[in-house]
A and B are shown apart, each in its own frame.
Chain A
C-alpha cells in the first residue's frame, strides 16, 4: 500500500513540476512570440488584440521598415561594433591573461591585482563621460570598441582556465625552441577554446546590447546603433516625426502602419540576432561558466 502511495506522490510531484516549468517556459517565450505575431499581422487589425495567431498575415511592417535608409547604416554600425569589439576584447583579454600566468613577468601579482581592482572600483557616470570627451572619443567609432578591450571579469575567468592547463605541454614546446608568441598561438589558444568561446559570447552580446556610450556620447546619425534607435522609437514622439511619414503611410489604407507596429517591428529586428545565435552558443558558455563557478 505504501508503495502505491509513494508512487502516486511521485507521479503527482513530477506532473506538478513539469507543469510548473512549462508555465515558466511560456512566460519566457510568450513576450517574444507576441511581438512576432504582432509584427507579421496586419497593423490595423492587430491593434484590436491578438492572442495566439497573427491576424491578416503579411509582412508589410518589415517591408516598410526595410525601406528606411537610416536602418542600414544603423545595422551596419551595430554589426561592426559587435564583430570588431568582440575580436578586440577576446584577443586582448586572452593575451593579457596568458601573460599574467607567466612567472617570469615582473610585478606579475601586482599587475593582476591592478586589473582585478577595476572590477570593484568604478569612477562613475560623470567622470567616465568627461574622460571620454577629453579623449575625443565622442562621435568616434573607437568609443565602441576600445574601452571594453580589457575586462577584469573576463581576465579572471581566462586566467583561471589557463592555469589549470598542463604546464608540461608549454615547457616541452619551449624546449623545442618556441617563443612566448608561438606557445600562445599554437598551444594556449587552441586549448582554451571553450573559455574563449564563452568570453566571445559574453562580449558579443554585451556589444550588441550596449547603448549607453552611444546615447551619451554620440550625436552623429551615422554612428547610431540599433539599441538607441529602438529607444528613440519607443520613447519620443519627436523621433516618430523625424521619420518621413510618407515612408510609412501608404495610400492603401489597409496597409497602414501604426506607431505600435513600428515599435514592435524595431524590437523584433534588434532581438532576432540574439534569438538566432543564442541557442547555438548556449552549450559553450554553460560549460565555461560552470568551470568558472565551480572553481571561483
Chain B
C-alpha cells in the first residue's frame, strides 16, 4: 500500500522518540550506551518531588505565565468585534494583514525587535530621556518585578491579530437575522454586541479556552529561551526552559527526560478532563 512509507515517517518521528522515555529510568550519561548504564528505577521522579528540587519555582512561573495568557484571552474577541465595526472593507483587510504579521516572525526576530526598542540605547529610553521623564534608562527586559507582564505583553503583540481571525470568521458566520431582529427590538450597537455577537462567539471562545487550560504546562520554549537573562532568570524559568537547561547545561539527560515525561502525562490528563468538560458544556468533544 502507498500509505506505508508515510506511516513509517509518522512512526519514526513521532512514536520512536517516545521510547526515549526509558532514559528517565536509567543513570544515562551521554556517550555511554544504554545497555551499560545502571537502572535507576523511579529515582529521578523521586528527585523531582524531593525537598531540594527547584521545580517549585519553575512550576510557579509556568502557571503564572499560563494564567496571564488565559486572563488576556478575551482580547482577540474585543479586537475582532471592534474590527468588524470598522468602516471600509479595504481598511479592514489592511488592518488585518498588518496585525497578523507579528505572528509569522520567529521569536528570535521578536527578541531582536524588542531589544532594539527597549534596550538602553533603544528608541524607548532615548525618547523618555529626551522628554526628561526619566533620568536613567529603564531596563525593561532585565526587571524581575515586571518580567511576567512584559512577556505577556509581547505575546499579546505577537498573537492578537492572528487569534482574532478565528473570531472574525465566527462573526461573519453569525445569522444576520438575529441582528435585524435585535435592531427592530430597539437594540443599539452595544446591545447588539452584548446580546447577539458575544453569545455567538462563546462556543469558539470556550473551546479555545479549554485547549489553553490543557496546555497550561507548555508555555513554549522559544520565547523563554530568547528572553532569558540572568536578571530575570528567577521569573522566566518555565518548565520547557528548565528541561533544556537541565539537559544541556547540567548534562543531566535522565532528569530532564523525567521532567518532560511528567509534563506530558499531566497535560494529557488535563486534556481528557477538559474534553469531558467540553462534552458536558457543548455536547461536543474537542479532540
A residues near B (Cβ < 8 Å) are 6, 13-14, 17-18, 20-21, 24-25, 27-29, 31-32, 34-35, 38, 47, 49-51, 92, 95-96, 99-100, 105-106, 111, 114-116, 118, 120-131, 135, 146-147, 149-150, 180, 205, 208-212, 216, 227, 230-231, 234, 260, 263-264, 266-267, 270-271, 274-275, 278-279, 282, 286, 289-290, 293-294
B2 cross-chain contacts in A, Cβ below 8 A: 95, 99, 180
Expressed in whole angstroms, the minimum distance between the Cβ of A229 and any Cβ of chain B is 10
Is B131 an interface residue when CB atoms closer than 8 A count as contact? no
B99: which of A25, A35, A123, A271 is its contact (CB, 8 Å)? A25
B248 cross-chain contacts in A, Cβ below 8 A: 216
Expressed in whole angstroms, the minimum distance between the Cβ of A112 and any Cβ of chain B is 11
**CB within 8 Å for A131 and B20 given contacts A14-B87, A34-B117, A105-B3:** yes
A127 touches B109 (CB 8 A): no
A114 cross-chain contacts in B, Cβ below 8 A: 7, 10
Q: What is the 8 Å Cβ interface bit string for chain B, positions 181-192, against chain A (1 contact, 0 not)?
A: 000000011000
Expressed in whole angstroms, the minimum distance between the Cβ of A52 and any Cβ of chain B is 10
B116 cross-chain contacts in A, Cβ below 8 A: 31, 34-35, 38, 260, 263-264, 267
8 Å CB interface, B1-46 against A: 1-3, 6-7, 9-10, 12-21, 23
A125 touches B243 (CB 8 A): yes
Q: Which residue of B lies closest to A105 (CB)?
A: B3
A-B contact pairs, 6 of them (CB 8 A): A21-B91, A49-B126, A126-B20, A127-B17, A278-B97, A282-B97
In the complex, given contacts A111-B7, A122-B264, what are 10 additional A-B residue pairs having Cβ atoms less than 8 angstroms apart? A13-B85, A14-B86, A25-B98, A105-B3, A124-B260, A125-B243, A127-B21, A131-B20, A271-B109, A290-B169
A278 touches B104 (CB 8 A): yes
**CB within 8 Å for A17 and B256 given contacts A25-B98, A234-B111:** no
B112 touches A263 (CB 8 A): yes
Q: Which residue of A lies closest to B15 (CB)?
A: A118
A95 touches B243 (CB 8 A): no
B20 cross-chain contacts in A, Cβ below 8 A: 123-124, 126-128, 130-131
**CB within 8 Å for A270 and B109 given contacts A99-B3, A114-B7:** yes
Expressed in whole angstroms, the minimum distance between the Cβ of B231 and any Cβ of chain A is 15
Q: Which residue of B lies closest to A210 (CB)?
A: B106
B23: which of A120, A127, A147 is its contact (CB, 8 Å)? A127
A227 touches B108 (CB 8 A): yes
B97 touches A293 (CB 8 A): no
B9: which of A127, A150, A293 is its contact (CB, 8 Å)? A150
A234 touches B115 (CB 8 A): yes
Is B105 an interface residue when CB atoms closer than 8 A count as contact? yes
B166 cross-chain contacts in A, Cβ below 8 A: 289, 293
B86 cross-chain contacts in A, Cβ below 8 A: 14, 17-18, 21
B residues near A (Cβ < 8 Å) are 1-3, 6-7, 9-10, 12-21, 23, 79, 82-83, 85-87, 91, 94-102, 104-106, 108-109, 111-117, 121, 123, 126-127, 130, 157, 161, 165-166, 169-170, 172-173, 188-189, 204, 221-222, 226, 240, 243-244, 247-248, 253, 256-257, 260-261, 263-264, 267-268, 271, 287
A21 touches B18 (CB 8 A): no
A205 touches B23 (CB 8 A): no
- CA of A122 to CA of B261, assembled, Å: 9
B271 cross-chain contacts in A, Cβ below 8 A: 120
B106: which of A209, A263, A286 is its contact (CB, 8 Å)? A209
A267 cross-chain contacts in B, Cβ below 8 A: 109, 112-113, 116
